[in-house]
Amino acid sequence: MSTNESWQQSDRRMADKFTGDLDWSRVYALWRMRLEDFRVTPWPFFTEIVLCDNKHFTNRRPDVAWWENDEIDAEHLRAQAYLNERPGALGVMADDGHGKGCARTLQMLREFAGDAEQVAAILILASIRSRRGGRNRDAGNCWPPTFLFERLLLWCAEVSGASDGLREWHSSMTGVLPTLRSDYVFEIRSMRALIHFVAEEHAQVLLQYRPILAKYGPEPDPSIHRLLKNAEEADERRMQEARRAEADRRETLRAEHPRWGEWDSVSRAELERLVWTKPVSQLAAEFGVSGVGIANRCKKWAIARPPRGFWLRVKSGKIEHPNGKPS
């Protein structure tokens, strides 16, 4: 700054140098060409899906969310299954894991963006808002001071219709895009470099995530409905197979243990009679329980059991069979 130049004049001169020969039309052209290098098409911006909500489909407002590109079908399936179980439930799309800032960006795009040019303006604002404004991270010396690109902010606000610019997001919102580029790739010394940087960031976002617009209606998406029906039929087949397997298991156990399943209903009097009728090993085989379990039950109910060797003496005829009566 020369001695005869005010700070306002110095800032204007530096901003002119930073901007170069760019105006909004050239900014948009640069942004669009860089996205095309990655084969990313910014319009139509939203991927529309249909969700069936039998309770409130007539007056329910559409929902928006960021979904990973390779998870769209799975998320669509999950959301429809959730609504099938809970018609009228709110928040079906809200928990996409990216927070209120990213949701606000989608709301702005839904509200303001009517073409690719407005998409560009809002996404550029979002990238700048991720480094400047609110409680965002400090981009360090790699990013230029805000006064150098104030014209860009004004252009974006004017083109998009988001007249509040960076203030469209609440100051508490930190992340306003689902993913960001590293700020330390190179130092941004011109508006051309800035547009190059943010365009690559937007390509990165759109290659990994899709903005989803969910509309509610009386009928589900046919392909999703078919997948859910197939899943329900598969679940029913598994349940039937499980029931058959359980029935076979019970039959096998009954064949091996004549009184299988009756152990829990045995009374104290019956247990006392049983332990004085036959050895514990035979009782365990009949009921399909362990000898330890029988012993523990007898201990709990204070039932005296035959002493060790008792049944050998009965077998040898040295003592009479107790016939269920303690001796």
User: Buried (b) or exposed (e) across 78-110, using 16+ Cβ within 10 A?
Assistant: ebbeebbeeeeeeebbeebebebbbbbbbebbe
Average pLDDT over residues 139-161: 82
What tokens were used for 274?
A: 């049983």
Using alpha carbons, list the distances in angstroms from residue 121 to 29, 38, 113, 125.
12, 19, 9, 6
Give the CA distances from residue 84 to residues 54, 61, 79, 145, 279, in Å, rounded to whole numbers and listed in that order.
Answer: 8, 18, 9, 51, 57
Query: So what's the pLDDT on residue 73?
Result: 85
CB-facing half-sphere around the CA of 209: CA atoms within 13 A: 20
The answer, yes or no, to whether residue 57 has pLDDT greater than 80, is no
Mean pLDDT of 86-115: 78
Q: Find out whether 43 and 113 touch, Cβ atoms under 8 Å.
A: no
Residue-level pLDDT at 1: 52
Which stretches of the chain are assigned E, i.e. beta strand?
A: 47-52, 63-68, 209-217
Higher pLDDT, 274 or 58: 274
pLDDT at position 60 is 78
Cα 267 to chain centroid, rounded = 51
Per-residue pLDDT of 139-148, as tens digits, reads 566 788 888 8
Average pLDDT of the residues in 32-50: 90
Could you tell me which residue, 325 or 94, shows the higher pLDDT? 325
pLDDT for residue 136: 56
For the cut 70, the answer to whether the pLDDT of residue 96 exceeds it is no
- pLDDT over 80 at 210, yes or no: yes
72-85 and 222-256 helices, crossing angle to 10°: 70
